[in-house]
Structure 1
């Protein structure tokens, strides 16, 4: 933090422990990566004031800690030179660096959110040796959280641009941030969403988020919305997370004056001021206590273990040993964790990364719904195909006239998109034999599905019409099915930002209800080259077409930032199946039983899925397009093994298991059912 008046006095050089020995490698918990950075800065880069090799080396370390994939190249150094106005280097030309890394937003909006923290420490002067100043509070803490934020956002797709800056030479008078702003074009300043600054996050009694001078109109005695929005947004997030984040109330006058040091909601004295003067909204995160001392934020704590109530620029006090003795190690853990949580979330929401991720999940889930509907159709067609097999079990079955039959079955699907899908179906059909080898029929089916993932339940009804050609004594066979089905779906869409090697920043589940219609055509033609009483085998060829229409619906409550109104989508799918099947019949208790296995090559003619989904965000009312690129195999294999049996003359049962192979993500299913002929 920049000095307010004179530099502070230091009494002793502290001896600090190796904090790194207490830390494991960075994992996916908030604060852990930052604590690693903090440990190295205080233990290996103490006394890093501008103009020293220590500051240059600490800049290299910051560059290393801010290097992640997901950004526009590696961080770069923005070098600048200035004449030192304080400390032992007064009057000398000093060179320092800002460390800058940028992420290009996918929305190509041109808007940018800036996040910064200085990494230098206060300089040695004639009265104070700061050559070993750790600066744990000022500002290893802010610099460390900055590196964590870079890490946390590395794998996140943002709509707007992000720029993270590790400022050099803040302690010489905000030199690094002033230089950065001086290099910005007028258009960049105009397109700036805002600037978030982190400085001195440990010592203070309270966590604060304050705006810049422009955020308060002294004449009207009221906040200025444009410049206060970042602050209010941060306060809302902190409240939602259950973290106590405060503002300078500006309700206490500086002793001996008639006005507060800063008005309501306004902070001071760090790099955010350079951006505030450039007419950019700013937000300063810090830990201090604006309600004690001169009510100016420079007296940080009421803790009696902290002499004078402040640790700024003090080589003895601003150290690991002193601060953990005063506050305990948990203070560091808590502040690193909580500031990281709040600011990570703030960045996500300010750049609409949560909405972008919500659009991605909407596009993916519309495809998952379509594939679920396709799998649901297979349950109907397979039941009818097994009816054809049951008819061919015995010569007597071919002698038939008008009749009715009912089917009840259960199907379990386990695919890479829909894990643990349970389906129960009941069908009632009427059938008429045009000739002994050819029957046509139609019927109504009812279905209930539950999914362990995103489909809470699916209630469906539909009509199927079919044609069956063949029989016990016919080597040629053909089964055609046409269907139209209506589905009523209860959905739960998961939206997750972060995860994996980084903390989960946003994790919402958006519920929705919609209706869908599926039209399907299926035809399977086969010829048994070997046609014996007990064994039949031969080739077959199948074509399957499905058209799914998913109606528009609301996914989530309109109070959620990731809730969407998803527009109607359509998906056409066509695939072919060329295979070979073997059937072997035997008897058990004088009842015919048939084992069947199939091996097939499947080709998908249209496997792109629903490539584009449009939806309106409830958060900002904007309509966006979510793109989906299917990573499906066009060609793969399929294997089935099954059994069906005539338990009585009228009651039949069947069971089969399917699996794909030579496919990136294999699909598996099991279906079991019974059929009764009236």
Structure 2
């Protein structure tokens, strides 16, 4: 396990080469088509920050990149460091607690009133939690995490960029969580950071997770989200998708719990959960992303470095990254504009 001192030193060294990574996205187009920036950012994050495990040098540099990017868009963005730990199981069955120093990113933009809408995505990749994980090459330093979850962060950044040019009634917050792949600790820490008043002011959290590999986009509400909020968020998103001819659906119940946000759902913070999967398969729990095939033998790409990378996904799902990022932004941008400034405001 890396010590904090070793992580900090490694991060400093990597930052020297990271200046290229920060500028590698290139000059933005004057009027980029919807989804262009989301795809560009997804590819950039996957390429330059693989192995973004909580507490790793790559995670620290990725967090700094996201923080700088959001600040340049005009948001008041900051890094939030916190301690996380996870139980590691060795091959002989022994278990030990390992600690990591994780870093999330929180960016704010004030509206006319303090009530806020939050757009959230985790940026960390899977942290192996057993010798078995390592033996099966789950997670680790080479995992690009294109689907899980550079895709969600890419879409979040484009939404942030486009909303930065809008005057809104409600305030906006964009959150990139770390340590979600280590027991959903990023969401728990974020919840701990909120005062009771801030919790009350949170009108909706839109969570973006794994948008590429699944057969279709799903929009679900949290289990404890009211039917009124579900109608204004989930049902409205599906209505927009139908109007645009985009294949999207909801789970059989219309709810899901909770794409890593159970801590928020338990506090009755309203949620809309956006991910690509296929609820028609398996146990209908949404965990199987697509039918089992020779290229996706488990019906999923999660945590698998040999599958969840740009080269593999571009080869076996050609054009999918660009199309799914575009579809996500085409649905979510008009929804977010409407939610942030309701008609009549």
TM-score, normalising length: structure 2 = 0.84
Contact 1:226 1:281 in 2 (8 A): yes
Structure 1 residues 186, 118: CA separation in 2 closer, same or farther (over 3 Å shift)? same
| Structure with higher helix content | 2
Q: Write out per-residue CA displacement over residues 212-246 of structure 1, whole angstroms, 9 at most, x where no aligned residue.
A: 1114xxxxxxx833455321121122223332221
Q: 1:224 maps to what in 2?
A: 227
Q: Structure 2: how far apart are the matches of 1:271 and 1:116?
A: 11
Contact 1:159 1:351 in 2 (8 A): yes
Contact 1:195 1:272 in 2 (8 A): no
Q: Structure 1: how far apart are the matches of 2:306 and 2:236?
A: 37
2:110 to 104, 112, 115: 104
Q: Structure 2: how far apart are the matches of 1:226 and 1:134?
A: 35
Structure 1 residues 64, 86: CA separation in 2 closer, same or farther (over 3 Å shift)? farther
The 5 A counterparts of 1:154-553 are 154-215=164-225, 224-249=227-252, 264-302=253-291, 304=293, 305-328=295-318, 330-352=319-341
Q: Write out per-residue CA displacement over residues 364-420 of structure 1, whole angstroms, 9 at most, x where no aligned residue.
A: xxxxxxxxxxxxxxxxxxxxxxxxxxxxxxxxxxxxxxxxxxxxxxxxxxxxxxxxx
Q: 1:51 maps to what in 2?
A: 55
Q: Structure 2: how far apart are the matches of 1:337 and 1:135?
A: 19
Contact 2:54 2:103 in 1 (8 A): no
Structure 1 residues 192, 92: CA separation in 2 closer, same or farther (over 3 Å shift)? same
SS in 2 for 1:178: helix
SS in 2 for 1:196: strand
The 5 A counterparts of 1:548-559 are none
Question: Which structure 2 segments of 5+ residues have no match?
Answer: 1-21
Contact 1:112 1:193 in 2 (8 A): yes
SS in 2 for 1:213: coil
Q: 2:69 maps to what in 1?
A: 65
User: What's the offset of the Cα at 1:294?
Assistant: 2.0
Structure 1 residues 332, 157: CA separation in 2 closer, same or farther (over 3 Å shift)? same
Question: Which structure 1 segments of 5+ residues have no match?
Answer: 1-19, 216-222, 250-263, 356-560, 562-616, 618-623, 625-678
Bigger Cα Rg: 1
Q: 1:581 maps to what in 2?
A: none
Of structures 1 and 2, the one scoring higher in RCO (CA 8 A, sep 6+) is 2
SS in 1 for 2:84: strand
Q: Structure 2: how far apart are the matches of 1:24 and 1:167?
A: 25
Q: Structure 2: how far apart are the matches of 1:275 and 1:33?
A: 29
| Structure with higher strand content | 1
Structure 1 residues 167, 90: CA separation in 2 closer, same or farther (over 3 Å shift)? farther
Structure 1 residues 228, 185: CA separation in 2 closer, same or farther (over 3 Å shift)? farther
2:84 to 61, 82, 86: 82
Q: Write out per-residue CA displacement over residues 261-282 of structure 1, whole angstroms, 9 at most, x where no aligned residue.
A: xxx0112342432321221110
Contact 1:112 1:163 in 2 (8 A): yes
Structure 1 residues 112, 140: CA separation in 2 closer, same or farther (over 3 Å shift)? same
Contact 1:209 1:231 in 2 (8 A): yes
Total equivalences in the alignment: 310
Cα-Cα RMSD: 2.3
Q: Structure 1: how far apart are the matches of 2:33 and 2:87?
A: 41
Matched, 1:120 2:124: yes
User: What's the offset of the Cα at 1:199?
Assistant: 0.5
Structure 1: 4+ residue segments shifted above 6 A: none
Q: Structure 2: how far apart are the matches of 1:303 and 1:101?
A: 39
2:163 to 143, 153, 158: 153
SS in 2 for 1:293: coil
Contact 1:174 1:271 in 2 (8 A): yes
Contact 2:258 2:265 in 1 (8 A): no
Structure 1 residues 213, 40: CA separation in 2 closer, same or farther (over 3 Å shift)? same
SS in 2 for 1:81: strand
Structure 1 residues 63, 87: CA separation in 2 closer, same or farther (over 3 Å shift)? farther
